[in-house]
Amino acid sequence: MSLLLSPLDALAERLGLSPESELLALAVTHSSYAAEHDCTSNELLEFLGDAVVDLAVADLIVTQYPELDEGSGSLVRSRVVNEASLASAAQRLNLGDYIRIGRGEVKSHGLERPSLLADAFEAVVAALYLEKGFDVAKAFVHSALAKDVASAALRPDDVDPKTRLRKWTESAGLGLPVYTVTSEGPAHETTFDATVSIGGVVRGTGQGRSKKNAETQAALSAWERRDA
């Protein structure tokens, strides 16, 4: 059974792919839809796309911002290759107009969830990579995220909460933060709960629809309570 249940013409044209591309259709098929229609989801493409996006952004940083050292470059990349940034890129592309989700996700406004949008963005990048090669996928990522990289490169020390917390604990001689994450719910509606411990004491908690987001919220919580 074909996954092409709604027109992908506008998105395909923007990406330089055929509207009949099975990989593109797969890239916009969320696991909740796949479970209801007995078809394959975009999860494996998302896994591949994560690596492609990471490499493409690293390439952009190295080629366009050679003044940054390795540490600053890593910080810039971490501020761009994350759930919030990739979800914003997906919104700019109007990916939400094309993502297929299940009935439960529709009821819970799943298309507003950053994790779902970010995953779809990575899956679309993977589809481009597989059909057109790395250079085309890289060009697409550069176009989608160039402004985010430029903004981050202006202030490379404005780091993400996890990095900021780690730097503080190391400088204070407290060791590394330790994250513990649990999850509940079906695969397409999983909620993650995270705690972060410093010196064996829980200092922050967080919740999100992805492991990364839950850990980020826990780190932010611990950072805000660091002087308590």
Per-residue DSSP letters for 127-193?
Answer: HHHHHH-HHHHHHHHHHHHHHHHHHHHHSTTS--HHHHHHHHHHHTT----EEEEEEES-GGG-EEE
Q: φ and ψ at 106, to 5 degrees?
A: -60, -45
Q: Is 177 exposed, middle or buried (0-12, 13-18, 19+ CB in 10 A)?
A: buried
On whether the CB atoms of residues 42 and 120 are closer than 8 A, the answer is: yes
Please, are residues 205 and 216 in contact by the beta-carbon 8 Å criterion?
Answer: no
Q: Which two tokens stand for residue 165?
A: 């917390």
Q: How far is CA 77 from the centre of its chain?
A: 12
Residue 155 amino acid letter: R
Rounded distance, CA 87 to CA 146, Å? 15
The catalytic position among 46, 122, 148, 215 is: 122
> Taking every pair of C-alpha atoms in the chain, what is the biggest distance, in angstroms?
58
Query: Which of the residues 50, 105, 119, 148 is marked catalytic?
Result: 50
Is residue 36 annotated as part of the catalytic site, yes or no? no
224 is annotated as an active-site residue: no
Residue positions annotated with a catalytic role: 50, 122
